[in-house]
Structure 1
């Protein structure tokens, strides 16, 4: 087992990568030998599968390991030829060859979508028309994204999310991760407070971009302003409309407290990630923090079209306050926009023609029906189950007391062909605070016809662990 320090300012994936790299360079792991499977390593180290995967990908990028399809990661054979230092000691043979992970029949992860819901006919027609009628889109566009699209986004955000902005404040980019990297440049020297539990990728992106992160534990209302003040951070990354992964909606008084924190000192900013507020099935979401703060307030609003359209389209945007806009334009003046102009104009026409709002209305009805059917099937198949935050977003927390613990639940589900993640994987520190026997179940990629089979598979998986 490799010693990792969860309290260190060095991310866990970097610690794991460094330790494995040292073992490979020293010869403790011989060329051609398999690295432990990602789930096996995650369980052994007490970290998330994403942490292990990131470390392995870094090893592969440096040429220390290679990824073999449907097999796993192996120490690069050629590495030993290039480095003639003999092994420090004989390497024991592995107990068993790295086997394939169980086949996934039902995907309950939170990053997938049901591709059958994509509006392929209208999207494709618009794109074909543009391809033949708008050859000017082959030319380089505006650095912040083409203005017609920014106009449509501004109208949509104003009408549905209460965001106060002009098209000039909007920056279009290829995903939230890219936009966070741009923001990190504007906040050089800052420290970011990140929700714990929270979206693990955000912390990785910020730290990889030179912004140290400090973890702040959330409570029943989200991230506490008092704890944020004590953290010493000048930046705060939040998912207030639908906290990821717990589903908490931050109430208005807490939002006001956080805005007061941001306004108390110059240079403080809130990064508001509004990643799936389109999907609330009972009531409209509260207005955005950005709308409460106003166009000149200390809030950067971020959102994505990954949930509403498709992750592969890679269109996201941020709304910069005027205090950051001039600096952004100065520092990124030579940059080209990272989203294809054909994709930008397709989305623009899709929104301007009313297709987008109708598409969202259909999606809400479909996902609401799916959520209700899935929740009913789980309650029938798993007596005693508790489902948290079912009426918003595209995932919920599933708690089953006596199911043997989160890790056992995830592994048993995998053996039945069901992919899901444990809640503790999103705790970047202080995992003892994580509720027991709880997993995160996403249903956005789940076919309605598969719902009974998934519920039955989970009942079989977890039955041996229950009294």
Structure 2
């Protein structure tokens, strides 16, 4: 664990230097190799310190150019205990000129297999929208989103997830974070119960708005409900279909218990983030929480990031009818930030049946990928423990053969493999555990990726 503490210390030190203004927006950061040599630490240490900074938005990368400091004025100011790695060496001592290390293999999260996207069909709907005289799309958009898209989402949710709703209950946004931000205003900044570990943006929104929250452990059957009765907090945020990041699926009994908890108080609501519900590969799909609720207590959220493509930037929520007045009466609502033409394109794509056909195809694609990986890993089941592989596009892998985290990361680097330690999402995690995304790996490279994984983690 000493190595882990070293790069956490480095990450804290670099973040402090950025916050204190030692670097200006756009300044180039040293390459990992150059900084490693300068500080006499391993590239693995630098890699994971940089990954923390990347994910928190303090730096960003440009392909084949390196790392650069983000817009300082937009960064949160946080008080951290002053830490130094080496008083005689700072990053500002030199300018880096080495290129960022490129990985040959990577199990990245939040990537899709773009090769199978029906680009020709999608292009046709885009051309139709811009060629037809949709003059109304040039005007100020409805803050809830385009009516045609909300209609199609309502039909899709009922047929695929059993979610019954009217288009008037649906609000379109550019991201889950934007919609959560809206919900906190509607719910009068009620205190939250969230999963631990959890989807990072939920904590970022709550921290930014100074809203208290209770972090509750996640078990293999879902969030631990024993903590709920010990708390007076009224809003529960959960990812029951494929918990992020563990990949666990909340069972039906616990879903029912959670709904019963919400029914006990008029101020209680459940926010159900159903982000990975389209992709389930084993067993019978479990109904959405919203479809089980009989008392209008579940707020449903999802996105098109996985079902279409990440850069689509369309998310949506389904408000309980009793919250519609709260939305309508909310002052200074943010305008809809999703371009009206893009909303219309997606609506037409769905109306034609192309969206459903695409989803059916991608379920098979991702299922075949996952089953291939699991079959390749099966001979090593005494060394590797796999969890969260029932659904979604990621799973976790725990190394049980005695390898340390540092040894695994060193091996991975030698095999040009990028893998993300689970403690990135759970700082208290002591096991040698990784979270692996497989959606974006082409079939032609799947075997080579899996071999690199085995060679890095197995004896």
TM range (shorter): 0.7 to 0.9
1:68 and 1:231 mapped to 2: Cα distance?
47
1-side partners of 2:207 and 2:273: how far apart?
A: 17
Q: Does the aligned pair in 2 maintain the 1:403–1:462 contact within 8 Å? A: no
Question: What residue in structure 2 maps to residue 313 of structure 1?
Answer: 312
Taking the aligned partners of 1:69 and 1:118, their CA distance within structure 2 comes to 27
Q: How many residue pairs get matched?
A: 428
1:210 partner SS: coil
Aligned to 2:75: none
* TM alignment of 1:11-410, pairs within 5 A: 19-20=16-17, 51-53=52-54, 57=58, 70-73=65-68, 92-94=88-90, 101-136=100-135, 137-294=137-294, 297-331=296-330, 335-380=334-379, 384-402=383-401, 404-410=403-409
Tell me the secondary structure at the aligned position of residue 341 of structure 2: helix
Q: 1:332 to 1:377 in 2, by over 3 A?
A: farther
Deviates more, 1:41-50 or 1:254-263: 41-50
Q: TM-score, normalised by structure 2?
A: 0.82
CA distance in 1: counterparts of 2:13 and 2:65, whole angstroms: 23
Q: Tell me the CA shift for residue 248 of structure 1.
A: 1.5
Deviation readout 1:373-432 (Å, 9 max, x if unpaired): 12222335787333223231111112232252345424532442322211222215x434
Equivalent pair of 1:35/1:74 in contact (CA under 8 Å): no
The range that moved more, 151-160 or 221-230, is 221-230
Give the Cα separation in 1 of the matches to 2:103 and 2:308: 23
**Where do 5+ consecutive residues of structure 1 fail to align?**
5-11, 61-65, 77-88
Task: Evaluate the alpha carbon distance shift between residue 68 and residue 150 of structure 1 in structure 2; reply closer, same or farther with a 3 A threshold.
Answer: closer
1:450 partnered with 2:445: yes
2: distance between equivalents of 1:46 and 1:450? 24
Query: Contact (CA 8 Å) 1:34, 1:74: kept in 2 or not?
Result: no
Given that 2:154 and 2:167 are in contact with CA atoms closer than 8 Å, whether structure 1 keeps it comes out as: yes
| Secondary structure of the structure 1 residue equivalent to 2:219 | coil
The answer to whether residue 429 in structure 2 is matched with residue 431 in structure 1 is: yes
- Deviation of residue 324 (structure 1)? 1.8
Uncovered stretches (5+) of structure 2, i.e. residues with no partner: 72-83
Which deviations, in whole Å up to 9, do the C-alpha atoms of 1:130-184 show, x marking residues without a partner?
A: 1001332222221101111111111111111111211110001111111111112
SS in 1 for 2:198: coil
Q: CA RMSD in A?
A: 3.7
User: C-alpha separation between the residues in 2 aligned to 1:214 and 1:32?
Assistant: 38
The verdict on how the C-alpha distance between 1:331 and 1:47 changes in structure 2, with shifts beyond 3 A counting, is farther
Quote the Cα distance in structure 2 between the aligned partners of 1:178 and 1:105: 34
Query: Could you tell me how far apart the structure 2 residues matched to 1:203 and 1:46 are?
Result: 24
Which range moves more in the overlay, 302-311 or 130-139?
Answer: 130-139
The alignment's TM-score, normalised by the length of structure 1, stands at: 0.80
